[in-house]
Protein backbone atom coordinates (compact mmCIF):
# COMPACT_ATOMS: atom_id res chain seq x y z
CA UNK A 1 0.00 0.00 0.00
CA UNK A 2 1.47 3.41 -0.91
CA UNK A 3 0.88 6.62 1.07
CA UNK A 4 -1.78 7.67 -1.47
CA UNK A 5 -3.86 4.61 -0.54
CA UNK A 6 -3.96 5.41 3.17
CA UNK A 7 -5.20 8.14 5.48
CA UNK A 8 -2.62 10.76 6.43
CA UNK A 9 -1.18 10.99 9.96
CA UNK A 10 -3.44 13.88 11.03
CA UNK A 11 -6.63 12.08 9.92
CA UNK A 12 -5.50 8.86 11.62
CA UNK A 13 -4.35 10.57 14.80
CA UNK A 14 -7.60 12.48 15.14
CA UNK A 15 -9.66 9.38 14.30
CA UNK A 16 -8.17 7.22 17.04
CA UNK A 17 -7.85 9.97 19.66
CA UNK A 18 -11.49 10.93 19.13
CA UNK A 19 -12.66 7.31 19.02
CA UNK A 20 -11.14 6.80 22.50
CA UNK A 21 -12.57 10.10 23.82
CA UNK A 22 -16.06 9.35 22.48
CA UNK A 23 -16.15 5.87 24.00
CA UNK A 24 -15.08 7.38 27.35
CA UNK A 25 -17.86 10.01 26.98
CA UNK A 26 -20.54 7.41 26.33
CA UNK A 27 -19.52 5.31 29.36
CA UNK A 28 -19.12 8.41 31.55
CA UNK A 29 -22.51 9.75 30.43
CA UNK A 30 -24.41 6.64 31.50
CA UNK A 31 -22.38 6.18 34.71
CA UNK A 32 -22.78 9.81 35.87
CA UNK A 33 -26.56 9.95 35.43
CA UNK A 34 -26.81 6.91 37.74
CA UNK A 35 -24.91 8.59 40.62
CA UNK A 36 -26.63 9.96 43.73
CA UNK A 37 -28.17 13.27 42.63
CA UNK A 38 -26.22 16.25 43.95
CA UNK A 39 -23.34 14.12 45.29
CA UNK A 40 -19.74 15.37 44.91
CA UNK A 41 -18.98 12.25 42.81
CA UNK A 42 -21.75 13.12 40.39
CA UNK A 43 -20.57 16.73 40.18
CA UNK A 44 -16.99 15.63 39.35
CA UNK A 45 -18.12 13.17 36.69
CA UNK A 46 -20.39 15.76 35.08
CA UNK A 47 -17.55 18.29 34.92
CA UNK A 48 -15.26 15.66 33.38
CA UNK A 49 -17.96 14.64 30.87
CA UNK A 50 -18.58 18.23 29.87
CA UNK A 51 -14.82 18.95 29.58
CA UNK A 52 -14.09 15.93 27.37
CA UNK A 53 -17.26 16.68 25.37
CA UNK A 54 -16.14 20.25 24.65
CA UNK A 55 -12.69 18.92 23.69
CA UNK A 56 -14.34 16.48 21.26
CA UNK A 57 -16.30 19.35 19.74
CA UNK A 58 -13.10 21.37 19.18
CA UNK A 59 -11.34 18.37 17.66
CA UNK A 60 -14.37 17.63 15.45
CA UNK A 61 -14.25 21.17 14.01
CA UNK A 62 -10.51 20.76 13.33
CA UNK A 63 -11.07 17.33 11.83
CA UNK A 64 -13.86 18.48 9.57
CA UNK A 65 -11.68 21.34 8.33
CA UNK A 66 -8.83 18.91 7.66
CA UNK A 67 -11.16 16.47 5.92
CA UNK A 68 -12.56 19.15 3.61
CA UNK A 69 -9.03 20.11 2.57
CA UNK A 70 -7.65 16.56 2.22
CA UNK A 71 -9.31 13.97 0.06
CA UNK A 72 -9.40 10.53 1.75
CA UNK A 73 -8.00 7.53 -0.16
CA UNK A 74 -10.50 6.08 -2.67
CA UNK A 75 -12.62 3.10 -1.60
CA UNK A 76 -11.68 -0.27 -3.15
CA UNK A 77 -13.07 -0.92 -6.68
CA UNK A 78 -14.69 -4.09 -5.39
CA UNK A 79 -17.27 -2.02 -3.48
CA UNK A 80 -20.63 -1.54 -5.23
CA UNK A 81 -22.50 1.75 -5.60
CA UNK A 82 -24.91 1.08 -2.72
CA UNK A 83 -22.09 0.03 -0.39
CA UNK A 84 -20.16 3.22 -1.15
CA UNK A 85 -23.24 5.29 -0.51
CA UNK A 86 -23.80 3.61 2.88
CA UNK A 87 -20.12 4.08 3.80
CA UNK A 88 -20.21 7.79 2.95
CA UNK A 89 -23.57 8.35 4.64
CA UNK A 90 -22.26 6.61 7.78
CA UNK A 91 -19.12 8.76 7.89
CA UNK A 92 -21.03 12.02 7.42
CA UNK A 93 -23.55 10.92 10.06
CA UNK A 94 -20.62 10.40 12.45
CA UNK A 95 -19.28 13.91 11.69
CA UNK A 96 -22.77 15.32 12.31
CA UNK A 97 -23.03 13.50 15.63
CA UNK A 98 -19.54 14.53 16.75
CA UNK A 99 -20.63 18.16 16.31
CA UNK A 100 -24.32 17.89 17.18
CA UNK A 101 -24.07 15.94 20.44
CA UNK A 102 -21.75 18.41 22.19
CA UNK A 103 -23.94 21.30 20.98
CA UNK A 104 -27.04 19.60 22.41
CA UNK A 105 -25.07 19.05 25.67
CA UNK A 106 -24.23 22.76 25.76
CA UNK A 107 -27.91 23.60 25.37
CA UNK A 108 -28.74 21.15 28.23
CA UNK A 109 -26.37 22.87 30.68
CA UNK A 110 -27.33 26.36 29.50
CA UNK A 111 -31.03 25.80 30.10
CA UNK A 112 -30.77 23.70 33.27
CA UNK A 113 -32.83 24.99 36.23
CA UNK A 114 -29.81 24.21 38.48
CA UNK A 115 -27.66 26.77 36.61
CA UNK A 116 -24.40 24.90 37.28
CA UNK A 117 -21.29 26.44 35.69
CA UNK A 118 -19.16 24.36 33.32
CA UNK A 119 -15.42 24.76 33.95
CA UNK A 120 -13.46 22.94 31.26
CA UNK A 121 -10.77 20.78 32.95
CA UNK A 122 -11.05 23.11 35.96
CA UNK A 123 -9.49 25.94 33.94
CA UNK A 124 -11.75 27.72 31.47
CA UNK A 125 -15.39 28.61 32.07
CA UNK A 126 -17.87 27.77 29.30
CA UNK A 127 -20.51 30.52 29.17
CA UNK A 128 -24.16 29.51 29.11
CA UNK A 129 -26.04 30.13 25.87
CA UNK A 130 -28.78 32.76 26.30
CA UNK A 131 -31.69 30.34 25.79
CA UNK A 132 -35.04 29.92 27.57
CA UNK A 133 -35.36 27.26 30.30
CA UNK A 134 -38.29 25.67 28.43
CA UNK A 135 -35.78 24.18 25.98
CA UNK A 136 -34.22 22.00 28.69
CA UNK A 137 -36.46 18.94 28.24
CA UNK A 138 -36.11 19.04 24.44
CA UNK A 139 -32.32 19.44 24.70
CA UNK A 140 -32.04 16.53 27.16
CA UNK A 141 -34.15 14.33 24.88
CA UNK A 142 -32.06 15.32 21.85
CA UNK A 143 -28.81 14.58 23.70
CA UNK A 144 -30.09 11.17 24.84
CA UNK A 145 -31.53 10.13 21.45
CA UNK A 146 -28.36 11.46 19.76
CA UNK A 147 -26.23 9.28 22.06
CA UNK A 148 -28.22 6.17 21.07
CA UNK A 149 -28.08 7.07 17.36
CA UNK A 150 -24.30 7.46 17.78
CA UNK A 151 -24.06 4.03 19.45
CA UNK A 152 -26.10 2.40 16.64
CA UNK A 153 -24.02 4.12 13.92
CA UNK A 154 -20.81 3.06 15.66
CA UNK A 155 -21.95 -0.57 15.84
CA UNK A 156 -22.48 -0.45 12.06
CA UNK A 157 -19.16 1.38 11.53
CA UNK A 158 -17.06 -1.06 13.56
CA UNK A 159 -18.86 -4.10 12.09
CA UNK A 160 -18.16 -2.78 8.58
CA UNK A 161 -14.47 -2.15 9.40
CA UNK A 162 -14.07 -5.68 10.79
CA UNK A 163 -15.96 -7.19 7.82
CA UNK A 164 -13.61 -5.43 5.39
CA UNK A 165 -10.62 -6.80 7.25
CA UNK A 166 -11.63 -10.35 8.09
CA UNK A 167 -14.26 -11.27 5.46
CA UNK A 168 -13.51 -9.17 2.37
CA UNK A 169 -9.81 -9.06 3.25
CA UNK A 170 -9.22 -5.66 1.67
CA UNK A 171 -7.14 -2.68 2.91
CA UNK A 172 -9.96 -0.55 4.35
CA UNK A 173 -9.05 -1.11 8.02
CA UNK A 174 -5.29 -1.21 7.36
CA UNK A 175 -5.33 2.24 5.76
CA UNK A 176 -6.70 3.76 8.96
CA UNK A 177 -4.00 2.05 11.07
CA UNK A 178 -0.47 3.37 11.65
CA UNK A 179 1.88 1.51 9.36
CA UNK A 180 4.05 -1.11 10.96
CA UNK A 181 6.96 -2.62 9.07
CA UNK A 182 8.16 -1.80 5.58
CA UNK A 183 6.24 0.29 3.04
CA UNK A 184 6.15 -0.76 -0.58
C1 LIG B 1 -19.63 13.63 21.59
C2 LIG B 1 -19.91 14.22 22.73
C3 LIG B 1 -20.84 13.68 23.78
C4 LIG B 1 -21.33 12.42 23.98
C5 LIG B 1 -21.07 11.16 23.14
C6 LIG B 1 -22.18 12.47 25.15
C7 LIG B 1 -22.87 11.38 25.67
C8 LIG B 1 -23.72 11.44 26.76
C9 LIG B 1 -24.46 10.32 27.30
C10 LIG B 1 -24.39 8.89 26.78
C11 LIG B 1 -25.19 10.77 28.34
C12 LIG B 1 -26.13 9.94 29.23
C13 LIG B 1 -27.48 9.80 28.57
C14 LIG B 1 -28.28 11.07 28.66
O15 LIG B 1 -28.84 11.35 29.71
O16 LIG B 1 -28.32 11.81 27.67
C17 LIG B 1 -24.95 12.18 28.48
C18 LIG B 1 -25.55 13.02 29.42
C19 LIG B 1 -25.24 14.35 29.56
N20 LIG B 1 -24.31 15.07 28.83
FE21 LIG B 1 -23.25 14.42 27.25
N22 LIG B 1 -22.19 13.75 25.64
C23 LIG B 1 -21.38 14.53 24.85
C24 LIG B 1 -21.08 15.87 25.02
C25 LIG B 1 -21.56 16.66 26.04
C26 LIG B 1 -21.22 18.07 26.25
C27 LIG B 1 -20.23 18.88 25.42
C28 LIG B 1 -21.94 18.50 27.32
C29 LIG B 1 -21.99 19.86 27.97
C30 LIG B 1 -21.20 20.87 27.74
C31 LIG B 1 -22.72 17.37 27.79
C32 LIG B 1 -23.58 17.42 28.86
C33 LIG B 1 -24.32 16.36 29.31
C34 LIG B 1 -25.29 16.48 30.41
C35 LIG B 1 -25.59 17.74 31.22
C36 LIG B 1 -25.86 15.21 30.56
C37 LIG B 1 -26.95 14.79 31.55
C38 LIG B 1 -28.27 14.91 30.82
C39 LIG B 1 -29.44 14.62 31.71
O40 LIG B 1 -29.33 14.77 32.91
O41 LIG B 1 -30.49 14.25 31.13
N42 LIG B 1 -22.46 16.27 26.99
N43 LIG B 1 -24.04 12.57 27.50
C1 LIG C 1 -16.17 6.66 18.53
C2 LIG C 1 -15.67 5.97 17.61
C3 LIG C 1 -15.46 6.31 16.14
C4 LIG C 1 -15.84 7.39 15.37
C5 LIG C 1 -16.60 8.63 15.82
C6 LIG C 1 -15.36 7.13 14.02
C7 LIG C 1 -15.55 8.00 12.94
C8 LIG C 1 -15.05 7.82 11.67
C9 LIG C 1 -15.23 8.72 10.55
C10 LIG C 1 -16.02 10.02 10.59
C11 LIG C 1 -14.58 8.19 9.50
C12 LIG C 1 -14.50 8.79 8.10
C13 LIG C 1 -13.17 9.43 7.87
C14 LIG C 1 -13.20 10.23 6.59
O15 LIG C 1 -13.10 9.64 5.50
O16 LIG C 1 -13.32 11.45 6.67
C17 LIG C 1 -13.98 6.95 9.94
C18 LIG C 1 -13.23 6.11 9.15
C19 LIG C 1 -12.83 4.86 9.54
N20 LIG C 1 -13.01 4.27 10.79
FE21 LIG C 1 -13.87 5.09 12.37
N22 LIG C 1 -14.73 5.92 13.99
C23 LIG C 1 -14.78 5.38 15.27
C24 LIG C 1 -14.26 4.17 15.68
C25 LIG C 1 -13.70 3.22 14.85
C26 LIG C 1 -13.27 1.91 15.23
C27 LIG C 1 -13.35 1.33 16.66
C28 LIG C 1 -12.78 1.30 14.11
C29 LIG C 1 -12.22 -0.08 13.92
C30 LIG C 1 -12.67 -1.18 14.34
C31 LIG C 1 -12.89 2.25 13.02
C32 LIG C 1 -12.47 2.06 11.74
C33 LIG C 1 -12.48 2.98 10.73
C34 LIG C 1 -11.92 2.75 9.42
C35 LIG C 1 -11.27 1.46 8.94
C36 LIG C 1 -12.14 3.92 8.66
C37 LIG C 1 -11.75 4.18 7.21
C38 LIG C 1 -12.90 3.86 6.34
C39 LIG C 1 -12.55 4.15 4.91
O40 LIG C 1 -11.41 4.02 4.54
O41 LIG C 1 -13.44 4.56 4.15
N42 LIG C 1 -13.46 3.42 13.51
N43 LIG C 1 -14.30 6.74 11.27
Whether residue 50 is contained in a domain is answered as yes
Q: How far is the CA of 30 from the centre of ligand 2 (A)?
A: 23
Q: Determine, yes or no, domain membership for 17.
A: yes
Q: How far apart are CA 82 and CA 74, in angstroms?
A: 15
Q: Is the CB of 30 under 6 A from ligand 1?
A: yes
- Containing 124, the helix (H) or strand (E) segment is strand 124-126
Which regions in the chain score pLDDT beneath 50?
Answer: 184
Domain count, the chain: 1
Task: Identify the nearest ligand to the CA of 175 by its number.
Answer: 2
Q: Please tell me the number of the ligand nearest to residue 101's CA.
A: 1
Residue whose CA lies nearest to ligand 1 atom number 14: 144
Q: List the CATH number of the domain containing 105.
A: 1.20.950.20
- The kind and range of the H/E element at 118 are strand 118-120
C-beta of 22 in contact with ligand 1 (< 6 A): yes
Instruction: Report which protein residue has its CA nearest ligand 2's atom 1.
Output: 19
Q: Please state, in angstroms and rounded to a whole number, the distance separating the CA atoms of residues 180 and 23.
A: 25
In a domain, 64, yes or no: yes
Residue 142 is part of which domain span? 3-176
Q: Is residue 151 part of a domain?
A: yes
Residue 184 included in any domain? no
Residue 4: predicted pLDDT: 76
Quick check: is 108 in a domain?
yes
Residue 182 included in any domain = no
Could you tell me if the CB of 6 is within 6 A of ligand 1?
Answer: no
pLDDT digits (tens, 9 = 90+) for 49-94: 999 999 999 999 999 999 999 999 999 999 999 999 999 999 999 9
Tell me, yes or no, whether 181 lies in a domain: no
Instruction: State the average pLDDT for the chain.
Output: 96
CA 48/CA 69 separation, integer angstroms: 32
Amino acid sequence: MTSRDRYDGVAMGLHWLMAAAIIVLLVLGFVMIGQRPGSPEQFKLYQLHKSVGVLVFGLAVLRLGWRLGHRPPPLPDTMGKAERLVAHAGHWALYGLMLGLPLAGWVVVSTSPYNIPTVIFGMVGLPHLPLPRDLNTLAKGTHLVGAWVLIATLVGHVTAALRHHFVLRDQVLARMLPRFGREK
